[in-house]
A and B are shown apart, each in its own frame.
Chain A
Amino acid sequence: MTTATAHQPTSDKPKAVPGRSVIFKIKRCDGPGKPFRWESFKVPTEPGSNVISCLKWIAANPTTTDGKQTTPVVWDSGCLEEVCGACTMVINGRVRQSCSCLIDDYAPREGDTVTLEPMSKFPVIRDLWVDRERMFNALERVKGWVPIDGTYNLGAGPQESPEHQQMRYALSECMTCGCCLEACPQFLKEEDPKNWDTAFIGAQAISQARYFNEHETGARLKGDRMDVLTGPGGVSDCGNAQNCVKVCPKHIPLTESIGAVGRSATVHAIKKFFLGH
């Protein structure tokens, strides 16, 4: 919840110099299997500039600081308001969305440098664009849906208390950005889809499984979800480092989800043991 002091401007922030130029140092790669290289660009800023507006400027003026003509940088983006998750990259060493990354905060003085790298846990397609198919695959593995009887007109869904709705809503905002996976020491890059079923699935899918388990109809598939999350690469692979929750831009209570799924996993294992399947 916001408190009355939350609006006080932080005074230790250096004041951004208007009309300055900043240096973008970008880690580039022409495609899978191709080598990485670094290129730098000097970019003029305007009030409100963010990483995307600077990448757009580079696209229109693709000349490096050495005066070399190069190609526009390739990156992924969509909404430009931090709600689609597409534009995630590593900026000055920290994973985050580039659209909400304001240059005034990151490079307030003339000549300051902003470093852009692609996420390291996913295969690079080109430059800053990575392939996060594995995250969508994980959602399929945990049966991330509510098994309704079809789109016929069958009346309203289950009633729900506002408290429960608020809890589910907090989980529902996950935008599949991958920050939590990039920061997780247990989640490792895995290019071969064959290994996705056994490598650690990560906080995003665990939390989503909880989201669906918390819906009255969604819970009908809880057993199937728990089968996956108690199997190889499931919730027990989490080392509880809590990096994930620190970087999640949507403030999703990931450690809480991991805890909840962990407890369900224990119950699930006991049930399975006694029911013998």
Chain B
Amino acid sequence: MSEQRVIVVGGGLAGLAASVRIAEAGLPVDLFSMVPVKRSHSVCAQGGINACNEVARQQGYSEYEHFDETIYGGDFLADQGPVLEMANWAPKIIDLLDRMGVPFNRTHEGFRDLRLFGGSLFKRTHFAGATTGQQLLYALDEQTRRYTAEGKVTQYTFWEFLYPIVENERCVGIVAQDMRTMQIRAFRGAAVVMATGGNGLIFGKSTNSVICTGGAASRCYQAGAKYGNPEMIQVHPTAIPGADKCRLMSESARGEGGRVWVPKNVGDTRRPTDIPENERYYILEERYPKYKNLVPRDIATREIFDVCVNEGMGIDGSNQVYLDLTHRDPDYLTEKLGGILDIYEKFVGENPRFTPMRIFPAVHYSMGGLWTTYTPGDYNPDSPLPAHKSGNPIPIDSNPGHGLTIGAPNNMMTSITGLYAFGEVNFAYHGATRLGANALLSCIFDGLCNGQSVVNYVRNEAPTVDTINQSVYDNAVKSEQDKHDAILATSREPSEASPEYNPYQIGIEMGDIMNAQSTVVKTGAGLTKCLDKLAELRERYKKVRLADGAMWTNQSLSYTRSVGDMLILAEAIAKAGLLREESRGSHYRTDFPDRDDDKFWKTSVATYNTSTQLSDIEFVEVKKGLVQSRPRTYGKTDDAKDTAKTPEPATAS
């Protein structure tokens, strides 16, 4: 009997790792992507990928500590089993990437070099210059090309996923559209893996690529897949504000010694290099003497925001602070950070090796995503253990199967049977904040580890899709064709040139309100205002006018369709933020500034209500069990606020 086919939607790290793993196991893969997979958003990742390694291990680090850091970093919102499994796999994933030829930076002796990253006191981040994501993506792209050449993977490039096809409560295929010919058709698949990445475009300008709309996730959500922790959006502390997007200045800049500061004298107009040490306020070093500039992202973001917005200490009164690398040797910087320093130079026109960079926070990553399930592994302590201390014996070794039951068909399956979510579109690993350099890991881990689950599902549980009645597929196509034609028809209606119904204008207003009310600092009143505005935009969207009626390569149509999908996801993000009356990780409510474990040590799970066309949010207990919850302080000095007002002279280090 010929094997059933698997559909993978998305060719970033998660989708490619899944395709390689599934094809290797012998199942044919149909891989869909809106861009040539080599251009997927993963290419943007700069800093690196985390894993325990021999050097760190001999200094007292372990996979277990990596796990503990990730849980603590995520403010205990993630279920713990999958995170343990991911940390345990990490060193083996690095080895595999190494074998694939990734040009990881090397030590003199020829071993893989390591750098510091936020949330850890050990060097555990592997990197290839400052373009690690590009190098990892290329390595997986190359392996996928090999399988494509062998006929095991079929690539559908420039095809947009439109909707999952669900029959008898199982996902049995997808509807997709060729972005050039505009043909809409159905594809049969015994299982479907969504690996469509993040949703930064909902917030207007972000650090994401232009395809990161979250549209694909929203379509699964509308089809009945639940969505977990939508309100958990990471704002990266250090981005370069720009006219079309905010370009990231990677955390590795701080890992390599970058210091964040503002002039102590508000309104100091001197050039930064002319301001002496003792007239600079090193924000993070003074407020967090232990982790200094390497506190996790949400903390760095809020402190920068606080200094600019609340204390009015931003450079020249603007919302910008300095990120300073000028104390390091320029050649060293070129070797370690060349890629990102070039980006700054190219887009700002100043050389960061000699002039401190001007940066401000920007939306970066979605911890929330399609809600998924799993089968726990064999490690289940009687009661959760206290925080792990470096160097202490570890309670469990790093063999596979302790955190997850490897190959269990439901691992990272959404609430729709046979529909999986891998990579950034999955909500499972990063809780309320993601640690830097853990995303690439979670993407590849999903593909490699949970790809096996897909294989087992297809071989043991999936229906035989070839025998499903063709009408199921025809109806699904018709429904998408109707939606498509309805949008297209608006281009022929008498053009009221009113910007009110222009899809791009609606997109801009959505971005503005979401950015203002649903990112760094949230309040009940602000989120309510945000929900009202979204309701207005949904009404306007009903009368949206398309400016392009072409039946060939109609990008406006694709964008307009995704604006509708983004509005739906935006509502879930804002509503879950409103209902979570606490502060946890990236979710910070000034009206509820503390973490409230009694009420909210819970996942917010959104379900799309087809009659109200709004989200229903429930809060579901987080599975505890491996480590105990503890306050997430990163050793902040209690009198940081006072220090901020009368700063001590910074010690040059």
Partner-B contacts on A (CB < 8 A): 1-2, 4, 6-7, 9, 30-31, 46-50, 52-53, 56, 59-60, 62, 69, 71-72, 74, 77-86, 99-100, 102, 104, 125-126, 129, 132-133, 136, 139-140, 143-148, 150-151, 153-157, 159-162, 164-166, 168-169, 172-173, 175-176, 212, 215, 217-218
- Pairwise interchain contact A83-B44, C-beta atoms closer than 8 A: yes
Cross-chain contact A83 with B131 (CB below 8 angstroms): yes
Q: Is the CB of B43 within 8 A of A84?
A: yes
Q: What are 25 A-B contacts with C-beta separation under 8 Å? A: A2-B331, A31-B552, A50-B242, A60-B504, A60-B505, A69-B547, A71-B550, A72-B547, A78-B211, A79-B41, A81-B347, A82-B343, A84-B40, A129-B553, A133-B157, A136-B38, A139-B145, A146-B100, A157-B100, A159-B106, A159-B109, A162-B105, A166-B335, A169-B105, A169-B128
CB-nearest residue of chain A relative to B331?
A1
Decide if B267 is an interface residue (CB 8 Å cutoff): no
Chain A residues near B128 (CB, 8 Å)? 169, 172
- Please tell me if the beta carbons of A145 and B146 are within 8 angstroms of each other in the complex: yes
Asked if B101 is at the interface of the complex by the 8 Å CB criterion, the answer is yes
| Shortest Cβ-Cβ A-B pairs, 3 listed | A7-B351, A157-B98, A145-B142
Q: Judging by beta carbons under 8 Å apart, are B41 and A126 in contact?
A: no
Interface centre among B98, B244, B335 (most CB of A within 10 A): B244
Judged by a CB distance under 8 angstroms, whether B577 is at the interface is no
Q: In angstroms, how far is the closest chain A Cβ from the Cβ of B338?
A: 9
B245 proximal to A (CB < 8 A): yes
**Chain A nearest CB, measured from B163 CB (Å):** 24
Q: B39 an interface residue at 8 Å Cβ cutoff?
A: yes
The residue in A1, A49, A56, A173 that gathers the most chain B C-beta atoms within 10 A of its C-beta is: A173
B243→A146 contact, CB < 8 A: no
In this complex, how many residues of chain B approach chain A with their Cβ under 8 Å: the count is 83
Interface of chain B residues 526 through 556 with chain A (CB within 8 A): 547-550, 552-553, 555-556
Chain A residues near B180 (CB-CB < 8 A) = 125-126
A1 surroundings in chain B (CB, below 8 A): 331, 334
Known: A148-B100, A151-B96, A159-B110. A7 touches B41 (CB 8 A): no
Known pairs A49-B243, A81-B245, A86-B39 / 9 extra A-B pairs, C-beta < 8 Å: A6-B353, A77-B210, A78-B39, A79-B44, A99-B244, A126-B180, A126-B550, A151-B21, A217-B99
Q: How far, in whole Å, are A6 and B333 apart by their CA atoms in the complex?
A: 14
Shortest distance from the beta carbon of B497 to any chain A beta carbon, whole Å: 8
Q: A7-B350, A169-B128 are in contact. Are A74 and B553 (CB under 8 A)?
A: yes
Once the chains are docked, how many angstroms separate the CA of A162 from the CA of B553?
46
Contact of A78 among B35, B248, B502, B549 (CB under 8 A): B35
Give Cα distance in the complex from A72 to B109, angstroms.
Answer: 55
Q: Are B552 and A173 in contact (CB under 8 A)?
A: no
Binding site for A on B (CB under 8 A): 20-21, 24, 35-36, 38-41, 43-44, 92, 95-96, 98-101, 103-113, 128-129, 131, 134-135, 138-139, 142-143, 145-146, 148-149, 157, 180, 209-211, 241-245, 247-248, 330-331, 334-335, 339, 343, 346-347, 349-351, 353-355, 448, 495, 499, 502, 504-505, 508, 547-550, 552-553, 555-556
Contact of A2 among B36, B44, B105, B334 (CB under 8 A): B334
User: Is there an interface contact between A156 and B553, defined as CB atoms closer than 8 Å?
Assistant: no
Residues B244 and A50 in contact, CB atoms below 8 Å apart: yes
Complex Cα distance, B538 from A188, in Å, reads 49
With A and B bound together, what is the CA distance between A81 and B548 in angstroms? 27
Q: List B contacts of A53 (CB < 8 A).
A: 242-244
Residue contact B547 to A62, C-beta cutoff 8 Å: yes
CB neighbours (8 Å) of A172 from chain B are: 103, 128, 135, 138
In the complex, what distance in Å separates the CA atom of A164 from the CA atom of B135? 16
Q: Given A7, A52, A154, which contacts B355 in the complex, CB threshold below 8 Å?
A: A7
Task: Give the CA-CA distance A7 to B273 in the complex, in Å.
Answer: 13
Is the Cβ of B556 less than 8 Å from the Cβ of A79? no
Residues in A neighbouring B106, C-beta threshold 8 A = 159-162, 164-165
Residue of B nearest to A80 (CB): B245
Which among B21, B211, B547 has the highest number of chain A CB atoms within 10 Å? B547
Question: Contact: A153 with B95, CB < 8 Å?
Answer: yes
Q: Tell me the smallest distance from the CB of B36 to a CB of chain A, in Å.
A: 6
Give Cα distance in the complex from A217 to B248, angstroms: 34
CB within 8 Å for A81 and B44 given contacts A1-B334, A156-B95, A157-B98: yes
B550 touches A30 (CB 8 A): yes
Residue numbers in B under 8 Å from A143 (CB-CB): 146, 149
Q: Is the Cβ of A72 less than 8 Å from the Cβ of B210?
A: no
Q: Which residues of chain A are within 8 angstroms of B138 by Cβ–Cβ distance?
A: 172
List of B residues within 8 angstroms of A104 by Cβ? 349
Q: Which of A71, A102, A156, A175 contacts B98 (CB 8 A)?
A: A156
Chain B residues within an 8 Å CB radius of A56: 244, 504
Minimum CB–CB distance for B424 against chain A, Å:
15
Given contacts A172-B103, A218-B101, contact A78 B354 (CB under 8 A): no
Report B-chain residues with C-beta under 8 Å of the C-beta of A147: 146
B-side contacts of A155, CB under 8 Å: 95, 99
Residues of B within 8 A of A140 (CB): 145, 148-149
- Evaluate contact between A150 and B24: CB separation under 8 angstroms: yes
Residue among A46, A50, A79, A146 having the largest count of chain B Cβ atoms under 10 Å: A79
Contact of A83 with B99 at beta-carbon distance under 8 Å, contacts A62-B547, A146-B142 already known: no
CB-based contact A165/B101 at 8 Å: no
Query: Bound state CA distance, A136 and B547, in angstroms?
Result: 33
Partner of A165, one of B92, B104, B149: B104
Contact B209 A84 (CB under 8 A): yes
Contact present for B351 and A173 (CB under 8 Å): no
Query: How far apart sit A215 and B548, CA to CA, in the bound complex (Å)?
Result: 48
The residues of B that contact A218 with a CB separation of less than 8 Å are 101
Q: For the complex, what is the distance from the CA of A81 to the CA of B339, rounded to whole Å?
A: 10
> If A144-B142, A153-B92 touch, does A81 touch B99 (CB 8 Å cutoff)?
no
| Residue pair B552, A162 in contact (C-beta under 8 Å) | no
Report the minimal beta-carbon distance from B417 to chain A, rounded to whole angstroms: 26
Q: Which residues of A contact B110 (CB under 8 A)?
A: 159-162
Q: Are A175 and B134 in contact (CB under 8 A)?
A: yes
Nearest chain A CB to B97 CB, angstrom units: 8
Complex formed: what's the CA distance from A7 to B354 in Å? Answer: 7
The residues of A that contact B99 with a CB separation of less than 8 Å are 146, 148, 154-157, 217
A146 and B104 in contact, given A30-B552, A60-B505 (Cβ under 8 angstroms): no
Residues A144 and B145 in contact in the complex (CB < 8 Å), given A157-B95, A218-B101: yes
B256 CB, nearest partner CB in chain A, Å: 15
Q: Which residues from chain B contact A2 at a C-beta distance below 8 Å?
A: 330-331, 334, 351, 353
Known contacts: A80-B245, A145-B143. The answer to whether A71 contacts B548 by CB under 8 A is yes
Contact assessment for A52 and B244 in the assembled complex, using a CB-CB cutoff below 8 Å? yes
B35 x A71 contact (CB < 8 A): no
Interfacial chain B residues near A125, Cβ < 8 Å: 180, 553
Chain B nearest Cβ from A108, distance in angstroms: 13
**A151–B143 Cα gap in the complex (Å)?**
10
